[in-house]
Structures are given as C-alpha cells and as structure tokens.
Structure 1
Amino acid sequence: MVHFKTKNLLIIFLFCAFNLSAAPTAESIAKEITTITNAKALKRVPPKYPVEYAKQGAEGWVIVSYVVEPDGNTSNVLIERSSGRKRFEKEALRAIKDWKYNPALENGEPVQQCRNNVRLDFRMKKERAGVSRKFLSLYKKFVSALNEKDAERIEKLAPQMKSYKIFVANESFFKFTSMADYYEYKGDIEKQYSNLGLAVHSGVDAKFYRKLSDKTSKGDSEPQEAWSTKERNKAQQIRTVLHRKLMIELDKGSVSHALNTVNKLLAVSPTKEIGSIYQRQKESLDNFIASEHVLSTKATVNNNGIWQHQLLRSDFSFTEIQGKLDSVDVRCQNKRHVFSINEQTQWKIPENWKTCHLYVKGKEGTEFSLLELPRSLSNDTKVAAHKN
C-alpha cells in the first residue's frame, strides 16, 4: 500500500516533470494513444453443402484462418484443421473469400485485422445423435483389439479406421481418440498427439467451440453451474483428451501449446478444486516463460502443409530443419508479415505487435525446432525487426 506522504511526493514529482520545458504537449500525448476497433461482419456467406455429401448424409467440420483487409474483404484464407473431407475444406475456403466486413480501425484509419479464425460445421439439418452402425461395428472391434493388445487384429483394423470417412459428426471424436490410442500403442508420440488435437476439436460443435474459445482467452476457471447439461457432457468428453494432450506437451517441453491446453482445461474444469490444479500448472508455465530459458518446441508440418504456433516471445529462430520449409506467415492482431525461411532463420518481432501466431508453411512431414529466445540472447546485429 502507498502511504499518504509517499503518494503526495509522487504527485509532486509528476507535476514537476510535466512542467519541464521538454515535456510533451497534450497534442503529442494524444497522438501516441492508439485506439483499435475490431472488424465487424457485414456479410457471412454460409458454405455450400456438397450435393454428393448431402445425399450420403456425410458430416464434418473445418477451422479456417483469414485476414480482414482495410477494404473489408478477406484474404490469405487457410485451413487450420478439419475432420478430413477435402470437399468440405474447399467449400469453406470458397465461402469465406466472399465474406465482407467493416474493417478494423486504428485511430480512425482502416487497417488489416490479421488474426481471425472460425469453425464451420457441415451438419444435416436434423441433428443426429450417436454414430452409424458401420462405424460402431468397426470401432468396437478396434478398441477391443487395442485393449487385448492383439497385434494381428490391431494391424488389420487400424488402416480401416484411419481411412474411414466420417458420416455422422459424432464419429470424428471416437475415430481420432481410437487412433490416438493406436499410435500410443505403436510408440509414435507425434501421431498420437496429432490425433488427440483432432479429437479435441471433434468433441464440440461450432457453438460450443466459440464458447470454449471465449472462456479460454479470458482464463476463465469458474465452475460450470450455468452451463447446460449438454455442454457439461461435452466438456467432460474432451477433458480427458486435453489432459493426455497436456502430458505430452509438458514432456516435450512445448510451453506455448501446454499453456493453451491448460487454459482450455481451466475452461472445462467442473469445480474450483479441479481448476486450482490446472491454475498451479499455469502459474508454473507463466514463470518459465518469464525466465531466461530458451523455449524450444519440436514441430512437424501437417498434411495441409502448415504448422501453427502462438508466439510467447518476440525473438525466434528455426533450427534442425529436416525437410523443406518455405515461409513463415506471422499474424498478429493488426500486423502481418510473410518471411521466406530461405532468406534468414532468426527474427525479432516488434513488441507493439502484441500476441502473434505463426503459420509455418512447407512440405508435409518436415520436422524442425522453433526456438523462442529471451531478451538476454537477442543479438541485434543478426536479428532484423520488420514492420508493415
């Protein structure tokens, strides 16, 4: 607590400081204050349901990232994740390219809004609970073989499960969790982790995805008394998967991904007691991020040719590249820049760019490490600051 006398001295100091001849004027101070207004949707065209999929009753989902330009149009649309059907991805991309916005404003002037993502669900009008008989039969056989560690049956059924095309949306969650179990059995941590990530997204619909994203961004750890029974069931369904995902991230030292997963676990924790466990883990991660340790994250480019990551620091580099990386698309709230990785491998993003996401593009399966550097290791002679 600041005592009265100390507070008076502070007020006197500020008064004297702002009356010096070199002090900034009210006009110059006002110019330094930045006001950001987010883009607002004017027209959102729903994606078309592919006719052949509709006839089959096939369902799915797609998560898309895009930029809103100063003229209100969208650009640089890319697929972050999907349930796997390429026609759904194609229609999602086509729809978002036709979306229109009132652009974001910075001090009254239109600017890019570079970090936007949305989940689009392709579902039949009549909600279908459960899964198809065909999937249920395959799933039961596969899970039974895994539980019994029957190698012959496992290797026979795994390709069938992997290639199975989702029809009922609920099948996605069970497909990806069972494939995660399979890759855990095989000792393939990367593929286990990838399928756990897909399972998390498959365990929710677009509405709950938005709600979970809102709660995650706010660090909300309040219990779920206000949630509907359906929402609590969904939260319980993905909580176990999130916990498994977190264990892998902590073991790999993937701090950024672990922090994101912990925030999701806080959002789906049913009680304050359970939430407190993840809150302590979050505090531990926050302390590590604030330390002088280098944050190292091992990465693999996915089958869409990208790898995404939320930056925790402004200085980063790529090492141990095994394969081909083409570019890194840095998307912050109102700043964006695309770098060729062939030109340099180390960057310093200006601090005022705030929270930034990386979209690393390259050949599917390319492995590399992302290093996020503390300020003490920043080398200004080698690291370039880039601005739009």
Structure 2
Amino acid sequence: MKIISIMLVTALSLQANASLNSDSPEQPNGEFVDAVPLDRPEAIFPKQAAARGREGWVQLSYVVNEKGVVESAVVERSSGDTSFERSALNAVKKWRFKPAMQNNKPVKQCKNQVQLTFFMPEDYRGVSRPFLNRYKKIVAKIDKNDLESVPQLFHEMKERKLRNFTEDSYFWVAKARYYAAKNDRVNELRAIVRIIQFNDGHVPDEMYIAYLSRAIVLNMEQNKLKYALSLFERLSKLSGAENSVKQLAPYIDKVHELVEDDSKHIWVKGEITRSLWRHKLARNAFTISDIKGDLTSLEIRCDNHYSKYEVQPQQKWSIPASWRGCQVYIHGGKGAHFSLIETPQVKEELATKEV
C-alpha cells in the first residue's frame, strides 16, 4: 500500500515561516529573534493505522533551548489515537534549530506549537456506507429529541473506528448537535473545536463558517476571551463570512472592553479531561481557586520564557511584561476541576516558587 508522507498542514509554531538558510543579524535593544529550523525529520505513519486506512492529527507544544534542542514537548490535543501521538512526539523531539537570540546571546524559545497531520491517499477519503447509515440514524434521533439512546450509538460508531478526517468531522458534527440539544455548552464547544480543526473541505464551507461563528460565541460565554478573539480574526479572513463578522463585531468590541476593565475579574472554569488543561491569557495576572481533585503542576509558556510551578490555591501569578504571548498549562489527574481567575493587570514581577 502506498502511503502519503506525513504533512505539516498547520504551522502554528513561531518559527514555522523562518528561512532555513537565514542568518540572525545583531539585534539592538534586546529584540527577540525567533529560532530557525535546521532539521525537522518527518514523523513515521504508524503501520497499523495505515493498514486500516486511518488518518489522524496531533497538536504539540515544545521548548527550543539555548542549544537549539527540543525539550518539554507535550501533546495538547489530538484525534485520539495514541499511535499518532507517540509518532509525533518522537519526531518533534528530534527536531533541531538555530536557537533564538536576544542581546546577541542564545536564549530559550518557549512557546512553540505545531500540528502534525497524517494523511492517507485520496482513494481513502469520503465516508463508508455503514458510517453514513449510523450518522443518519443519530441525527434523526436528535432531530426528534429522542436522546436517550444516542450516547450508545456514538459509542458503537467510535468502537468501529473512524477511518479518516471526513468521518471524524461528521462524527463531531453529530456530537455538537447532540450537546446543543442537551444545552451542554461546554461539551458543545469541545465538539465544535474538533469540527473547525481543519478548513480542507471535510465539511461544506457554510457549515464551517456557522460552526466557527458558534465557537466564538461559546468561547465568549465561557470567558475564553483570547480564543474568541483569535477565532474572530480567522473568521474575518474567510470569503462568505461577511454577515457573521458583521453580527459578531459589536460583541468582540465588548470583549476588548472587558479585558481592559480592571474593575472586573474574568472567571474561567477548567477541567483536566486527559492529563493537562491549557488557557490563553488575556491578562498578565491570574490565580487558581475552587480546586477539586489533583493538580500536579502549572506551566507558564511564553514566547521567550518557560517556568514550572506547584499549584497553590489563591496564589497570585503576576507575569512580567517582558514575557510575551503567554499560555498556562495545568497538569493533573483526569476529572480534576478548578477555576482560573484572570485578575486586573499588574506591573509587578512574577513572585512564586518554581519547581
């Protein structure tokens, strides 16, 4: 069987667009110069997945240290197959870079994200008849609000394995419709994130725009404001999305106002669904409270800084302005939940014990 090599279809990493042959000039005034990729071996398509005609994707975050070596690589999100996750992690750990520079010295580049996507040949695209029949059965039950047996039908569909991105996309379309019918907005958003993972024609353009717009609304409702802003930026670039952009623009303005309003806290509910939870910060200060379950560590990954801490309830983390583009990663036991509260902007330095 001829297999198409893995492709990097979503270049989320900061250095993804850098030239392989570029030299970093001297940078005055402490300007930060991104790491430059030198060697990025491809991931190996898992043999069993290939034999079954299965596709998959993996999103990862990693640090490029002062020697240009990758460290602290973690899987943020994936299509769910551990064989793809192992292959992606093994590949990324072998990547090498010309290190980032600041004040003409090598420094760590700490917030790097990339998505590795495992494609099969075109002949394996589309949906199978058994999948289509199950999908129609589920949708019919949802439309009739006959929801009791739907979870079992989803389980059976998943047990029979989803072959490719098209089946995976429509599986999550059905899930999004199910959670919308149950008014479970948290899981509805999780399902929609899986639908809008790609914009490669796996679902019709109108459906993609509708779900992207819905994800913006749900992120705003759940105070995941940085995600709402980045998705709105994506929506604004799409042909055919003009009406949706016009309708959402006033609400996006209110998001900007909320972020700048120091009289208000921004509460975000967090839950460990596998082994970690991540959040893009809209402000530079936050605290953790209402912890139920085991939280093992907290990482702050910024463009130019990486730190790891113990999770202390009510401890306030105040991130220096020099740490750019920060995200929080919280590790813990599956099912642990908590609140992350983004507090008013501060100027003080981060004062908390690293681990």
Scaled to the shorter chain, the TM-score interval is 0.7 to 0.9
TM-score, normalization: structure 2? 0.84
Offset, 1:273? 5.0
**What is the letter of the counterpart of residue 291 of structure 1?**
D
Q: 1:143 aligns with which of 136, 139, 145?
A: 139
Cα drift, residue 116 of structure 1: 0.8
Answer whether contact 1:132 1:168 (CA < 8 A) is retained.
Answer: no
Q: In structure 2, do the counterparts of structure 1 residues 260 and 366 end up closer, same or farther at CA, with 3 Å as the change threshold?
A: farther
SS in 2 for 1:353: coil
CA distance in 2, matches of 1:251, 1:31: 42
CA distance 1:279–1:184, shift in 2 (3 Å): closer
Deviation at 1:245, TM superposition (A): 2.0
1:264 aligns with 2:264: no
Matched, 1:66 2:62: yes
2:154 is the counterpart of 1:158: yes
Deviations 1:46-76 (A, max 9, x none): 1111111111111111111111111111111
Q: 2:287, 2:153 → 1: CA distance?
A: 41
Percent of aligned positions that are identical: 29
- How far did 1:386 drift? 7.7
For 1:70 and 1:130, locate their aligned partners in 2 and report how far apart those are by CA, in whole Å.
Answer: 45
Partner deviation per Cα, 1:257-308 (whole Å, 9 max, x = no partner): 32233223223353555433333332221111011211111111122x1111
Q: Which residue of 1 aligns with 2:33?
A: 37
Report the Cα distance in structure 2 between the residues aligned to 1:371 and 1:343, rounded to whole angstroms: 11
User: Are 1:291 and 2:258 matched, yes or no?
Assistant: no
Deviations 1:150-206 (Å, cap 9, x if unpaired)? 2454244132235452212211111112112222333433222211112221x335x
Is residue 326–residue 362 contact of structure 1 (8 Å, CA) maintained in 2?
A: yes
Of the candidates 45, 50, 61, which is equivalent to residue 46 of structure 2? 50
The answer on 1:275 being equivalent to 2:262 is no
8 Å CA contact 1:40–1:104 kept in 2: the answer is yes
Residue 319 (structure 2) pairs with residue 349 (structure 1)? yes
> For the structure 1 residues 164 and 320, does the alpha-carbon distance in structure 2 shift closer, same or farther, using more than 3 Å as the test?
farther
Q: Is the 8 A contact 2:288 2:314 kept in 1?
A: no
Change (3 A) 1:160 1:387: closer
Residue aligning to 2:351: 384
Aligned to 1:191: 187
Report the CA distance shift for 1:272/1:128 in structure 2 as closer, same or farther (over 3 A): same
**Aligned 8 A contact 2:36 2:97 in 1:** yes
301, 305, 328: which is aligned to 2:272?
Answer: 301
Match of 1:212 in 2: none
More helix by share: 1
1:225-282 superposed Cα distances (whole Å, 9 cap, x missing partner): xxxxx69x76544221122222322333332332233223223353555433333332
Deviations 1:4-28 (A, max 9, x none): xxxxxxxxxxxxxxxxxxxxxxxxx
The whole-number CA distance in structure 2 between the counterparts of 1:298 and 1:330 is: 18
Does the 8 Å contact 2:310/2:354 carry over to 1? no
Structure with the bigger RCO (C-alpha within 8 Å, sep 6+) is: 2
Report the counterpart of residue 119 of structure 2 in structure 1: 123
The equivalences for 1:236-251 within 5 A come to: 236-251=206-221
Distance 1:199 1:272, change over 3 A: closer
Equivalence for 1:227: none
The 4+ residue runs of structure 1 with deviation greater than 6 A are 385-388
Q: Alpha-carbon deviation of 1:324?
A: 1.4
Contact 1:306 1:359 in 2 (8 A): yes
- Give the drift of 1:98: 0.5
Any residues of structure 2 matched to 1:195-274 within 5 Å, and which? 195-201=191-197, 203-204=198-199, 235-268=205-238, 270=240, 272=242, 274=244
Work out whether 1:365 is the aligned partner of 2:335: yes
Over 3 Å counting, the alpha-carbon distance change for 1:236 and 1:187 in structure 2 is: closer
Instruction: Provide the alpha-carbon RMSD of the alignment.
Output: 2.7
2:97 partner SS: strand
Q: Is residue 36–residue 106 contact of structure 1 (8 Å, CA) maintained in 2?
A: yes
1:175 maps to 171
Farther-moved stretch of structure 1 (106-115 vs 273-282): 273-282
Q: Which residue identity lines up with residue 334 of structure 2 in the other structure?
A: E
Give the whole-Å Cα distance in 2 for the aligned partners of 1:301 and 1:127.
Answer: 37
User: How far did 1:385 drift?
Assistant: 6.3
Residues 188 and 164 from structure 1, CA distance in 2 versus in 1: closer, same or farther, beyond 3 angstroms? farther
Question: Contact between 1:301 and 1:366, CA under 8 Å: does it hold in 2?
Answer: yes
